Amino acid sequence: MTRLPSPLTLSCPSGSGTVRTYGAHVMSWAPTGADPVVWVSSQAKDSVGEAIRGGVPICFPWFGPGRSGDLKPAHGFARITEWKLADRISEDDAAAATARFILTHEDIDPQLRGAFPHPFRAVYTVDFGAELIMSLTVTNTGSTAFEFEEALHTYLSVGDSRRISIDGLDGARYFDKVAQQEEQQSGAVTITDETDRVYHSQDTVRVKDPAMGRTITVAKEGSANTVVWNPWTEKSKAMDDFADAEWQSMVCVETANVLGDAVHVDAGKSHTMTQRLSVSRDSLLR
């Protein structure tokens, strides 16, 4: 078992965080003086070949088991592959500290690439500052079109997931992966059971967290889906990299293009998906 090297730290006056070259995986972020916004499990694995439970895994080029339902590894190869660090810009007076990573088809273990034999170049830029801005651009470097799924599988830290409300999805249609059926959202999303939903929505989402007295805003571009995931009690117990009660302190709000909204890219073309996290104090919510 090969342990992962320590993540890189990026900081500027307005915020700081950490990111690994393994998976180009954001491990932490908080604006200066604020509590951590990005959550990582106390049981997260730390070895090459394993997915990391928490942070911001990049799901690419498929989501879960893919649209065929039988692809492995779960959520694609990007989160368990070493990305190249192309740039690291951290200046004392800058508004953000930036890391840029690159992944191409040549970097992928041939055994994992089998289900996605297409030439591509992915560039992932992360700005750590008062906001956390993550932008993933995928370019088709081959001569024929292809489709892919993608998600920035963001684990957010919350005071008590049973008390949060997620605004911005009212009226949106969603696929309920637990009930395996299409539904329509009415009002705010609350967590009252295992929750695993793929919403059709391009809108900004706000996670109101009365236990921490704050609101986390997830804004996005180039994304047709928002995934909301909380494993609740039984699924938590079944995961060996997740403590039994940790479902209370996290929720995933994922910026995505998956299932029927998979991205089509013609030869030589690119697609960019961007997610921006910010946080505000809500003293009235407490």
Catalytic residue numbers, as ranges: 153, 254
Can residue 153 be called a binding residue for ligand BG6 (CB under 6 A)? Answer: yes
In angstroms, what is the minimal distance from the CB of 254 to ligand BG6? 6
Tell me, residue by residue from 19 to 58, as one string, x for binding to ligand BG6 by CB under 6 A and - for no binding.
--------------------------------x-------
Q: What is the 3-state secondary structure (H, E, C) of the chain?
A: CCECCCCEEEEECCEEEEECCECCCEEEEEECCCCCCECECCCCCCECCCCCCECECEECCCCCCCCCCCCCCCCCCHHHCECEEEEEECCCCCCEEEEEEEEEHHHCCHHHHCCCCCCEEEEEEEEEECCEEEEEEEEECCCCCEEECEEECCEEECCCHHHCEEECCCCCEEEECCCCEEEECCCCECCCCCEEEEEECCCCEEEEECCCCEEEEEEEECCCEEEEEECHHHHHHHCCCCCCCHHHHEEEEEEEECHHHCEEECCCCEEEEEEEEEEEECHHHC
Q: Which residue lies nearer to ligand BG6 by CB, 96 or 152?
A: 152
Q: Which residue lies nearer to ligand BG6 by CB, 12 or 151?
A: 151
In angstroms, what is the minimal distance from the CB of 116 to ligand BG6? 17
Q: Which residue lies nearer to ligand BG6 by CB, 128 or 242?
A: 242
In the bound state, the residue with its beta carbon closest to ligand BG6 is 74
Of 227, 251, 253, 273, the one binding ligand BG6 by CB under 6 A? 227
Can residue 177 be called a binding residue for ligand BG6 (CB under 6 A)? Answer: yes
Of 20, 25, 75, 220, the one binding ligand BG6 by CB under 6 A? 75
Q: Which residue lies nearer to ligand BG6 by CB, 12 or 38?
A: 38
Can residue 258 be called a binding residue for ligand BG6 (CB under 6 A)? Answer: no
Of 8, 74, 115, 211, the one binding ligand BG6 by CB under 6 A? 74
Could you list the residues that contact ligand BG6 (CB under 6 A)? 51, 64, 74-75, 153, 177, 196, 227, 229, 254
